[in-house]
Chain A
Amino acid sequence: MPAVQETVDRVRQIDVDQYKYGFVTDVESEKAPIGLSEDTVRYISDKKNEPAWMLEWRLEAFRRWLTMREPTWARVDYPKIDYQNAYYYSAPKKKKELASLDEVDPEILATYAKLGIPLREQELLAGVVRPEGERRVAVDAVFDSVSVATTFKEELKRAGVIFMPMSEAIREHPDLVKKYLGSVVPTTDNFFATLNSAVFSDGSFVYVPPGVRCPMELSTYFRINEANTGQFERTLIIADKGAYVSYLEGCTAPMRDENQLHAAVVELVAHDDAEIKYSTVQNWYPGDADGKGGIFNFVTKRGDCRGARSKISWTQVETGSAITWKYPSCILRGDHSRGEFYSIAISNGRQQVDSGTKMIHLGKNTTSRIISKGISAGKSNNTYRGLVTAHRKATNARNFTNCDSLLIGDQCGAHTVPYIEAKNSSAVFEHEASTSKISEDMLFYCRQRGMSAEEATALVVNGFVKDVLQQLPMEFAVEAQKLISISLEGSVG
């Protein structure tokens, strides 16, 4: 892989403190009072100028949440979270409505520059060769909790695509939001999703009308900036009949002492013949060498293949967070619908990852594919947890699962917990799994040829994850490869 060299160079540049994105931007911010109550929910809703029905929806979720208990079944271990000792809303103080990028706080733009996140679309395209003309990327940048800039809005508008912050969609497209919000992940779904429903601050809303192929990749970058502030993103993507959209999401967060809670919800709806491709590169602060201070990431991501012949594909590269609790899933409701899950989950240091997917076959002739690559290094634990199930009416359901684990060193753990349920005798489910180790012999062989231990590890790991990296859009594949090497720094030698 040509980028291997580059990744290794990048690793070398990382300073002692490993996490280069651990800096804080000095922007004045506006916070909700500490703690969580109905007043907090009202405060958030008010800040967003939300209509009454939205506030009611939030309050209902909040009341429900009060009756729920935090799940404990995942293979993760963390100190009890004090939900009353966190801030649930924080927004950079705005001077006025923004008309263009030029009006964005230069501090914020500088932060993105430091991260290497190209807010301006031309930068994103620099050096990327496109086969046919140029493919464009629209960026809806989320800084802390408020979307500060949205680009390409006009062109998307011409195609009829709605791409805007959730808070705006609630005001401008209430009918669509009312119809779809919570229709895939209901407010009662689980502890963290319900919490999100009550206090979500912002996120992205995408609607692609029937027969429209979204003219560009949609991309949102998330970044936690405010100390002790949980981020509760809410994303909703709808592809109407025959529509196609590819959405990219990536995040980094600054170094902090306190644990930062994150509980996002992403809902995808694909109607007849529609396709949604959702890609994530996640590299949030994983904590220091003792595991202190990292992000707690409790995410509910679910796609509903609501229509016949619809397709939803999740691709994720997970390298960050102290705790990862995340199972992007597909409900294969429409006949002949298809779900895919491609995942690279890397854990190092004291990180704990419990991630996987659910493929729920309800319609006839539905197919799904799961390719999961887990890499554990340091003293980390990495669990794949997957559910493949066929409803009794789901005749001819097909699933193929491939679940590989790679261990680096002898103090980490890899665990695989696949659940398979078939209530229809015509279902065919295949499951392949392997666990391997970067052996001393393999390292010595590479080093005898002139590679350093880091170069050898990067080479072997990139080989291991190749199948999944190929699923990522090109902009992300390169970034992801860099991240993989960065997150494995110090795991050998």
Chain B
Amino acid sequence: MLLEIKNLHVEVEDKEILNGLTLSVEKGQVAAIMGPNGSGKSTLAYVLAGKDNYNVTEGDILLDGESILGMAPDERAAKGVFLAFQYPVEVPGVATMTFLRTALNAQRKLRGEPEYSTPDFLKLVRETSAKLGVSQEHLRRAVNVGFSGGEKKRNEILQMAILQPRLAVLDETDSGLDIDALKTVSEGVNRLRSPDRSMIVITHYQRLLDYIVPDVVHVLAKGRVVKSGGKELALELEAKGYAQFTDEAA
């Protein structure tokens, strides 16, 4: 088991958003988390990444059996936790290439691995970006500044491909994408599926799961997992809506 979330209670500004969430993700598994607005999906993503002001009041999160609750966001990143943001942040004046290199070498340093030399890094980025259809011009532009919705999401996937996480959390990666962009981004994600990498795909709509087909689907409502099943559960939700679960959870 790569990730074990046990009875997790999380408060944001004194309001409890997650109450007793329990969830396990196996090594190499792609788990979809679906749920209505306000069910705590994004909170779960931020808590896994260690964002400030998301206070865990009870429960634990174990990565490979080790609790990550006491770890800073950069330590978690170095342990292999990656979050593809729903709203990627702009970093003016910092070229995407520079950002990638700084991030990768920072992680490697934390893990006690040697840093990438300039030629090796350039080779890695060129190969990876070519596979994802990301242009050299894109790499020279400042991180996310003036990027379209599709470009921002693709930039997240590029970062994931460079950083090679063990656990990737994709927070509403489909939001704001047209169908072509959705396909491109999904292809990028699928290429990164591996027996050594687990993924949590958070989405409101079933649509994304046509392209990124999950191994399991968990339904989140009112801060906890209310139902789990195979990929067919997503279709059922699409047909019946979330109302049944919000009622059950109430």
Task: Write the residues of chain A forming the contact surface with B, with a CB cutoff of 8 angstroms.
Answer: 1-2, 4-5, 436, 439-442, 444-452, 455, 459-460, 462-466
Contacts and interface: CB of A to CB of B under 8 A. Distances in A.
Interface string B154-165: 000001000100
B89 A441 contact: yes
B13 to A, nearest CB: 14
Given A2-B118, A5-B102, A446 B49 contact: no
A450 B106 contact: yes
B91 A445 contact: yes
Task: Identify which of B51, B99, B159, B163 gathers the most chain A CB atoms within 10 Å of its CB.
Answer: B99
B142 A463 contact: yes
Contact of A5 (B52, B88, B105, B110): B105
Contacts of B72: 447
Nearest to A4: B102
Contacts of B103: 446, 449-451
Interface in B104-149: 104-107, 110, 115, 118, 142
Contact of B106 (A439, A451, A463): A451
A235 B118 CA distance: 42
A5 B115 contact: yes
Task: Identify which of B83, B89, B163 gathers the most chain A CB atoms within 10 Å of its CB.
Answer: B89
Contacts of A447: 72-74, 77
Task: Identify which of A439, A440, A447, A464 gathers the most chain B CB atoms within 10 Å of its CB.
Answer: A447
Contacts of A464: 92-93
Task: Identify which of B73, B90, B142 gathers the most chain A CB atoms within 10 Å of its CB.
Answer: B73
A462 B107 CA distance: 20
Contact of A452 (B49, B74, B98, B142): B74
Interface of B: 49-52, 72-74, 76-78, 82-83, 85, 88-94, 98-99, 102-107, 110, 115, 118, 142, 159, 163
Contacts of A449: 77, 99, 103, 106-107, 159, 163
A237 to B, nearest CB: 32
Nearest to B92: A463
Contacts of B88: 445
Contacts of A459: 91, 94, 98-99, 102
Nearest to A467: B93
B85 A463 contact: no
Contacts of B104: 450
Contact of A448 (B73, B94, B102): B73
A455 B92 contact: no
Given A451-B106, A459-B102, A446 B91 contact: yes
B106 A448 contact: no
Q: Which 4 pairs from chain A and chain B are nearest by CB?
A: A463-B93, A450-B107, A449-B103, A463-B94
Given A448-B50, A449-B107, 4 more contacts: A448-B77, A449-B77, A455-B102, A463-B93
Nearest to B108: A450
B140 to A, nearest CB: 12
Contacts of B93: 460, 462-466
A362 to B, nearest CB: 35
B5 to A, nearest CB: 18
Contacts of A2: 98, 118
A464 B92 CA distance: 7
Contacts of B78: 450
A465 B94 CA distance: 10
A455 B142 contact: no
A379 B83 CA distance: 34
Contacts of B73: 444, 447-448
Nearest to B88: A445
Contact of B110 (A1, A445, A448, A450): A450
Contacts of A448: 49-50, 73-74, 76-77, 82-83, 85
A10 to B, nearest CB: 15
B163 to A, nearest CB: 7
A185 to B, nearest CB: 35
A445 B105 CA distance: 16
Nearest to A434: B92
A451 B102 contact: yes
A134 B118 CA distance: 24
Contacts of A445: 85, 88-89, 91
A88 to B, nearest CB: 44
22 contacts: A2-B98, A440-B52, A441-B89, A442-B89, A442-B91, A444-B51, A445-B89, A446-B103, A447-B72, A447-B73, A448-B50, A448-B82, A449-B77, A450-B104, A450-B163, A451-B102, A451-B103, A459-B94, A459-B102, A463-B94, A463-B98, A464-B93
Contacts of B105: 5
A460 B92 CA distance: 7
A446 B159 CA distance: 11
A460 B142 CA distance: 11
A462 B163 contact: no
Contacts of B159: 449
A452 B90 CA distance: 18
A455 B106 contact: yes
Nearest to B104: A450
Given A445-B89, A455-B106, A463-B142, A450 B77 contact: yes
A317 to B, nearest CB: 16
A368 to B, nearest CB: 24
B160 to A, nearest CB: 10
Contacts of A465: 93
A1 B98 contact: yes
B79 to A, nearest CB: 10
Nearest to B85: A445
A459 B104 CA distance: 13
Nearest to B79: A450
B32 to A, nearest CB: 21
Nearest to A465: B93
